[in-house]
Amino acid sequence: MILVFKEYGSVLGGRDFAAKIREDILAFSGEVILDFADVRTVSHSFADELIGKLAIELGFEAFKNKIKVINLSEGNKKVFSFVISDRLSPHQVA
């Protein structure tokens, strides 16, 4: 499955939208490619709801095997890295 986020705009935000995408990803059994080409900004809440929670729900190893993120800007990479490390930190309660 390939999800092309530029179809939803250049700025992505909101937990409800991200939660719906996360549910679709979890229901799909194969590899998922998340294409962020031409997406300028991903809000912290969107990234946490989508990427952070996927990392927790799948487990980090399964997450790395199932989810491929492509064309992510440097700024958005920092947001994604932060939410993953925050969710997977030992003190964090899922």
Cα–Cα distance list, 46 to 9, 16, 29, 90 (Å): 13, 8, 23, 22
Question: Would you give the distance in Å from CA 83 to the centre of its chain?
Answer: 9
Per-10-residue mean pLDDT, the chain, length 94: 93 94 94 96 95 90 93 95 85 46
DSSP string, 32-75: EEEE-TT--EE-HHHHIIIIIHHHHHH-HHHHHHHEEEES--HH
Res 90: pLDDT: 62
Q: How far apart are CA 65 and CA 85, in angstroms?
A: 17
Q: What is the pTM of this model?
A: 0.85
Res 38: pLDDT: 95
Length of the chain in terms of residues written: 94
